[in-house]
Chain A
Amino acid sequence: MTTTSRAKNTTASSEQLNALVGDVLAEAKRQGASSAEASVSVNQGLSVTVRLGEVETVEHNRDKGLALTLFFGKQSGSASTSDLSPAAVRDCVRAAATIARYTAADEFSGLADPDQLAREIPDLDLYYPWNPSVEQAIELSLACEDAARAVDARITNSEGATVYSYESTDVYGNSHGFIGATATTRHGISCAVIGQDDSGMQRDYWYTAARDRADLEAAAAVGKKAAERSVRRLGGRKLSTRQIPVVYEAPVASSLLSHFVGAIRGASLYRRSSFLLDHLGKPVFAPQVRIHEQPFLKKALGSTPFDNDGVAPANRDIVRDGILQGYVLDVYSARKLGLRSTGNAGGVHNLTIQPGDQDLAGLLRQMGTGLLVTELIGFGVNGVTGDYSRGAAGFWVENGVIQYPVEEITIAGNLKDMFRGLVAVGNDVDPSGNIRTGSILIESMTLAGS
């Protein structure tokens, strides 16, 4: 099995890293491991932030790391190091071997079965080096922040605009003879500004991220959107406690799908710590909902040819017609559950909820009167029970029309009910995330306020 093609002119070639992984696996064998796996990554990048028209930070990043797991029969130990010298690698293997002596034999531990390992490693078009100079990055950041500050006289302050560009080479190999490399890039622009009037200050932000610099939103557009989002929050009011329908704006709607993934992860299931235990083949969402994974989308931020176990992921439906079709499993949790890995060691890949026909305005009209949530804070989600209560800010909507901003409220419910009460998904999908969703309308939640 071989590696993806990659461009030249990076710090470490995947051939060098392949060789290092080979050395690590050989050292593991020498130290008595019956099987082993290792991953090596090398990253570098630049991040520049300007604030109020001046350069604030210029940050140069350069990281590398080795992580390995050794198996002695059914006992295992893991270790990692940022020092890739031969002596450090030997120490790292020794540390993992020492740990493995004290861990208990676990019949489910071990590498993926050879027939599960990715056979082909498609080129998913994930590597678009940019290497902007510091001056270029500053110029772009300034364009972004200037556009934000020009939007409205009420934009009185700024947390700045940031431009970054990172590239990474990752190699995973194991003692079944699997070795695979991916070279990826990630570039982005973000901006956060502060609006102010008699009611006080409000901050909001916007960002764009992509594998290919050419796919980024224009810097000025990012700044403009950040400013508009800040200004529209000014004059936020509290609401009284009530039962209402809620539209989650797309950027916060993705959190609902994260909670769903958390509940169908293998580890949550075998630990019986999920509110969706034993729901395979049963309805978990409203009947129109389809949720699927697209690991091989070209250029996408969530794409990967193989997961952290070396297993190929698959295009698959996780929810069809509202019914749960499968879990999110790695090799270990799959064995614990008597199932096969779904290629999700390390997480889901471009998880997508099928969008509907309406834009956000259409969803608001469908809701009629209720709450549009644009920001959530806090961690009030219980994955064992599905109980949900988070701080929120957004807009009060009447007859489909935004009335005024609201803040200092919470929205609460139980995720099981919220998923079953998912009325519609908008077509306002943001493609620059690993979770792809439009805005989501939920039938009913409790809003707590004054």
Chain B
Amino acid sequence: MSNSLDIARRTLLAPAGLDETDLDRLLGQILTHRVDYADLYFQYSRHESWSLEEGQVKSGSYNVEQGVGVRAVSGEKTGFAYSDEILLPALSDAATAARAIARSGASAGMPVRQRSGTAPKLYAPLDPLASLEDAAKVKLLETVEAEAKRADPRVTQVMASLSGVQEVILVARSDGGLAADVRPLVRLNVTVIVEANGRRETGSHGGGGRVSYQYFLENDYARTYAREAVRQALVNLDADDAPAGSMQVVLGPGWPGILLHEAIGHGLEGDFNRKGTSAFAGMVGQQVAARGVTVVDDGTLADRRGSLNVDDEGTPTQKTVLIEDGILKGYLQDTLNARLMGVAPTGNGRRESYAHMPLPRMTNTYMLPGIRDPREIIASVEKGLYAVNFGGGQVDITNGKFVFSASEAYLIENGKVTRPVKGATLIGNGPDVLTRVTMVGNDLALDSGVGTCGKDGQSVPVGVGQPTLLIDGLTVGGTQQQ
């Protein structure tokens, strides 16, 4: 198996007749201005997607994108330009445009190159698109459809999609760093519509990771995901209107960890804290969660959707403790914000593509397990909400208010899960919601690999996870006044 750096050289540099001395020359061209830091980010990505509806795979698409982003940083200033042509003159133009952020004058010279990315650890540098015959991709989607239809006669529509990406990146930095990564990513999704007695409902499920399409076949996920989507839709078909008001809320394990992503994670990103615009700014060392609550961001989990061998600035990813036993420990950093805050980068510098600037972003964000049996947690609630599946969420970084919307939830009455209720949005305040966590389950689970996070118009794949949690007093935004 080739190493990532060889693949990146072959894919990104060789076709244009470029080698590392050209990269050094380009960086040198930027360093004739007074910049603190500069980098070149080469990217080549191939993406395919197949979609099924009404029993047939009627459409498929294939997309190729390639280019280089050139960045020059001086103090808090960033000059950025990109080119979708990997050719020396275009690169030189981009370097000239980016360096204009700083006055001319010599910067520190370039140190000797430090190469990384020779030994991929977290996922194989494979090409998912080639991991399965096209006919078998179509068959996989047909299996989803057949299983969903078989699962229940009330299923009227099945929509399924299969997508795969291979991304090859190479980062050359003015501090001598040179890193490469070959990143596979696959995803299988299913949405069903069920209909009975004039009522319609929907359910969705999916999963994936930095693996080949074989992942779905080996685990029979086509059928698992189809059944899960149908199950959720049928629960909602019988659901009553959700309650409205503040109540005890039990969140299930896994994907409900989107709570942590919205309520905590974004507010701990380095840029907002360096600028003092986050509700968490200046709170390191303070208690922001109940004792026993520990939250980490970990980009080093094997094969996970949110994982990276190196981030998009070439920094190796790591496991960063955000909250330890209730105390805020630190922030998520890219190079720029780490330097300005005088701390080390945490491997969280990510970008959607060469045409976007890196920002501090999450990878896989989750809470460590506690000691409670989940059944014991539910039994402790006299009247409340048990929410086990969610759609999306959002947060206002500055005032800390966050929401996330349940797609499967039940009432808890006298310690028992009773009737299903229709999706309600939950709203809370990031800096204090975790202080009201009164029980933490022993059942940590990570999500199935479907998360996409948006920030400043840039989307990146992420993961979340948590054990079952009991939160005292979260506002449930249903319609039924209690």
Contacts and interface: CB of A to CB of B under 8 A. Distances in A.
Interface of A: 51, 54-64, 76-83, 88, 91-92, 95-96, 98-104, 106, 109, 134, 157, 159, 194, 200-203, 233, 236, 238, 241-243, 271-273, 277, 375, 377-380, 382, 384-385, 387, 389-391, 393, 407-414, 446-450
A63 B84 contact: yes
A448 B477 contact: yes
B458 interface: no
Given A56-B78, A412-B244, A389 B423 contact: yes
Contacts of B48: 99
B244 A241 contact: yes
Nearest to B431: A200
B399 A203 contact: yes
A448 B245 contact: yes
A273 B481 contact: no
Contacts of A63: 84, 355
**Most chain B CB inside 10 Å of its own CB: which residue of A51, A202, A271:** A271
B79 to A, nearest CB: 5
B115 interface: no
B475 A77 contact: no
Contacts of A390: 403, 425, 477
B477 A201 contact: no
B232 to A, nearest CB: 12
A380 B477 CA distance: 10
Contacts of A410: 244, 403, 424-425, 427, 475-477
Given A63-B84, A203-B398, A273-B193, A103 B61 contact: no
Given A99-B60, A448-B244, A200 B475 contact: no
Contacts of A64: 84
Contact of A80 (B63, B202, B401): B63
Contacts of B83: 62
A389 B478 contact: yes
A241 B63 CA distance: 49
B200 A385 contact: yes
Contact of A393 (B82, B246, B401): B401
Contacts of B478: 389, 412, 446, 448
Contacts of B76: 51, 54, 56
B276 interface: yes
Contacts of A379: 391-394, 405
Interface of B: 48, 50, 53, 56-67, 76-85, 94, 97-98, 100-101, 134-135, 137-138, 156-157, 159, 193, 195, 200-202, 242, 244-246, 275-277, 279, 355, 357, 391-405, 422-425, 427-429, 475-482
B429 A389 contact: no
17 contacts: A58-B78, A60-B80, A61-B82, A62-B82, A78-B60, A99-B62, A103-B58, A103-B60, A194-B277, A200-B279, A241-B246, A272-B200, A378-B392, A379-B392, A408-B429, A410-B403, A412-B477
**Most chain B CB inside 10 Å of its own CB: which residue of A83, A100, A109, A203:** A83
B398 A382 contact: no
Contact of B279 (A55, A96, A201, A393): A201
A57 B80 contact: yes
A159 B393 CA distance: 22
Contact of A81 (B63, B392, B428): B63
A354 B217 CA distance: 53
B64 A82 contact: yes
Nearest to A54: B76
Nearest to B354: A82
Nearest to A448: B244
B41 to A, nearest CB: 14
A238 B399 CA distance: 13
B78 A409 contact: no
Contact of A377 (B97, B135, B244, B396): B396
A444 B49 CA distance: 43
Nearest to B481: A241
**Most chain B CB inside 10 Å of its own CB: which residue of A101, A380, A384, A407:** A380
Contacts of A104: 56-58
Given A99-B134, A203-B398, A446-B244, A59 B81 contact: yes
A159 B275 contact: yes
